[in-house]
Each structure stands twice: as structure tokens, then as C-alpha cells.
Structure 1
């Protein structure tokens, strides 16, 4: 039974790790492709590198649509 729980937790851990990496990569690629100025891009990249999950989610749900930053 212990082996099964290790396999399941390992599988979920792998899925969450892959989702985390894809989220960060998607946000970074979106930033690099955007038409915002270089300072704003640099700021978003720094935010994502410091707090990857929160920074990526903030950019995806709020930062992509803001043109005044």
C-alpha cells in the first residue's frame, strides 16, 4: 500500500511540475512576443523569475491586457 501511495504522489508531483514549467514558459514567451516596451518586459520577467507561479498568473490574467505599465 505504501508503494501505491508513493507512485500516486510521484505522478501528481510530476504533473504539477510539468504544469508549473509550462505556465512559466507560456508567460515568458508571451512577454517576449508582446509589443510592450522593453522596461515593462524586463519588469514582468523579473517578477516571474522571483515568484514564478504567482508572477505568471498575474501576467496572464492581468498584465497581458494592460498597456499603461
Structure 2
């Protein structure tokens, strides 16, 4: 039983890690490619994502991506 739980936990952990990396990379690439952001705004979003990767990425994707100011 312990083997099954460790395999399932490992699989979900791996999927969670992959999703986390994809989410952060998607947000960072979106920030760097956004022509509406000046360098200070880009730097602020990058710092937010580096401090709180999951929350910062989700905030950018759902709220900040369509903003042209901060």
C-alpha cells in the first residue's frame, strides 16, 4: 500500500511541478513580449512572479496581461 501511495504521490508531484514551470514560463514570456509595458512595469511583474511564483503568475495571466499600465 505504501508503494502505491508513493507512486501516485510522485506522479501527481511531477505533474504539479511541470504545470508550475509551464505557468511561470508562460507568464514571464508574456511579460517580456508585451509591448504595452514599460521596463519598470515588466520588472515589477517579474519580481512579483519570482517572489510568489504561482500566485504572481495567475495574477498576471488573469489580471495583468490586459493592463497597459500599473
Q: Considering the TM-score relative to the shorter chain, is it more than 0.5?
A: yes
User: In the alignment, what sits opposite 1:30?
Assistant: 30
State the TM-score, normalizing by the size of structure 2: 0.96
Instruction: Give the whole-Å Cα distance in 1 for the aligned partners of 2:66 and 2:44.
Output: 15
Q: Residues 49 and 56 of structure 2 are in contact (CA less than 8 Å); yes or no, is this contact kept in structure 1?
A: yes
User: How many residue pairs end up in the alignment?
Assistant: 69
Q: Which runs of 4+ in 1 moved over 3 A?
A: none
User: Deviation digits for residues 1-55 of structure 1, max 9, x if unmatched?
Assistant: 1101100000000000000010000000000111110000000000000000000
User: In the alignment, what sits opposite 1:13?
Assistant: 13
- Pairing 1:43–2:44 present: yes
Structure 2 unpaired stretches of 5+: none
Computed over aligned residues only, the root mean square deviation of the Cα atoms, in angstroms, reads 0.6
